[in-house]
Amino acid sequence: MVVSYRVNHSADRSHKRITEQHLSVMTPRFFWLFVLCASLTATAPAFVAAQSQDDTPWVVYEGAEGPGQGKHIVLVTGDEEYRSEEALTQLARILAFRHGFKTTTLYAIDPESGEIDPEYLHDIPGLHLLEEADMMILFTRFRDLPEEQMRHIEAFTNSGKPIVGLRTSTHAFLFEDRNHPFIRYDTRSEVPGWEGGWGRQVLGETWISHHGRHAVEGTRGVINYLYEDDPILNGIGDNVYGDTDVYGLTVLPEGTEVLLYGLTLKGLDPYAPPEYETSIVPIAWRRHWTGETGNVSRVFATTLGASVDLQSEGVRRLLVNAAFWGLGMEDMTPEEADVGYIGRYRPTFYGFGSHVTGIYPADLNMTAEEASQWVQ
């Protein structure tokens, strides 16, 4: 059965949109670029699967053979701008069908229609599945989740298990109710010990600014050669590129190891010349986070990760390698991890109101047998 797709260009959403300009750190106002990749109608290549009657609001890939067998990774999506629902679905398939991990991908769900809706800020069903996860990969932005769901985030954050955060996860949560039980996780938090919220305390930074010109200048990854032999950088070389601009930072916490710096380019092209007037800043780092219960987690963070960034083989390999490291499997990290797409992948360019609508989690289901044609 062919799944029908449509693209929502409406700027007047019924759900409240929050932009970085609402925060205390103001940045210049840019026009958001609403550019979509070529066919989003008949094939919708970023989301390829047969339609199903299953109404489970998350997607599980049991995985194939590989070193990841026996490990369960839960990927949490939910951002209005950078198409995390596309990026993490593809990443989950690569981890499952090329490396053997069981993956479960969670989505922001419209409570009325049941479809994936990243602009609905208040619900990510399935967070209880973090209780059985070995790793959490988080890619959310300004989520205003209920206490019950945040309890699962809190439990995992304090579990000592590994955490990977992408792009907007530096500002993962923003609560309208300033008396919310998890206000310390809010990106604007001034709670002692939780300044800057979950992003700054756990990942190492919160929302600061766009360092490059947003939607105009891309980013090339530059290896920190102090760590050139580190397994996280296996097979990376100079192949890391993102159409997303570099994020500004303040000072990363003591003990943070910067693996990649971001070089701003004069255009959205991996071969564009560098913008030498703009300084390089960290775009991928790792650290250890000691939770409120004393457990210590391995943490990897990158300010890359938009769905279009995953068109870069180097970005996909970086994320796969980070999963191996986080799970204590660095000795099993491939020299050049297989990160070929599973299913067609032509992601939607980032921007508000541009997500592909009419997609349900069941539409994204895929078995190992169905994935095998892509693996071969």
In the predicted structure, residue 251 carries a pLDDT above the cut 50 = yes
Q: What is the pLDDT of residue 26?
A: 34
Pairwise pLDDT comparison (131 vs 37), residue with the higher score: 131
Question: What is the pLDDT at residue 197?
Answer: 98
Q: How many CA atoms lie within 13 A of 128 on its CB side?
A: 4
Contact by Cβ (8 Å): 232, 315 = no
pLDDT over 50 (residue 185): yes
- Structure confidence at residue 7 as a pLDDT band (50, 70, 90): very low
The more confident residue out of 32 and 282 is 282
- 179 pLDDT above the threshold of 80: yes
pLDDT of residue 298: 98
The residue ranking higher by pLDDT, 205 or 11, is: 205
Pairing of strands 163-166, 296-302: parallel
| Lowest-confidence region among 28-32, 189-193, 249-253, 266-270 | 28-32
Chain centroid, CA 366 distance in Å: 20
Position of tokens 């219960």? 293
Higher-pLDDT residue of 42 and 349 is 349
d(CA 69, CA 140): 26
Entry pTM: 0.88
pLDDT exceeds cutoff 70 at 36: no
Mean pLDDT of 185-194: 98
Residue type, 125: P
Q: Which residues, 6 or more positions from 271, have their beta carbon under 8 angstroms from its beta carbon? A: none
pLDDT at 314 over 90: yes
User: In which band, very low, low, confident or very high, does the pLDDT at 23 lie, cut at 50, 70 and 90?
Assistant: very low
Please check the confidence at residue 222 and state whether its pLDDT lies above 80: yes
Confidence of residue 267 (pLDDT cuts 50, 70, 90): very high
Name the least confident of 33-37, 144-148, 205-209, 285-289: 33-37
Q: What pLDDT score was predicted for residue 54?
A: 72
Contact status, residue 166 vs residue 189, Cβ threshold 8 Å: no
Whole-angstrom CA distances from 361 to 61, 68, 375 are 12, 23, 22
Q: How is residue 171 written in tokens?
A: 């500002």
Other Cβ atoms less than 10 A from the Cβ of 204: the count is 25
Q: Would you say residue 268 has pLDDT above 70?
A: yes
- When pLDDT is averaged across residues 240-245 and rounded to a whole number, the result is 95
CB 361 within 8 A of CB 107: yes
Q: Which amino acid is at 239?
A: N
Mean pLDDT, residues 208-218? 93
Is residue 348 within 8 Å of residue 255, measured between CB atoms? no
The label of the residue with tokens 């943070």 reads 256
State yes or no: pLDDT of 150 exceeds 50.
yes
Residue type, 119: E
Mean pLDDT computed over 92-110: 98
Q: pLDDT band at 127, cuts 50/70/90?
A: very high
- Is the pLDDT score of 304 beyond 60? yes
Domains located in the chain, CATH noted: 6-209+286-375 (3.40.50)
Structure tokens at 334: 């491939």
51-91 pLDDT, tens per residue? 445 789 999 999 889 999 999 999 999 999 999 999 999 99
Mean pLDDT of the chain: 88
Report whether pLDDT(19) > 70: no
Question: How do beta strands 209-210 and 247-248 pair?
Answer: antiparallel
| 14 has a pLDDT exceeding 80 | no
- Does position 3 have pLDDT exceeding 80, yes or no? no
* Maximum alpha-carbon separation in the chain: 54
Q: Which of 236, 49, 206, 215 lies closest to 142, judged by CA?
A: 206
Report d(CA 182, CA 200) in Å as an integer: 15
Beta carbons of 173 and 143 less than 8 angstroms apart: yes
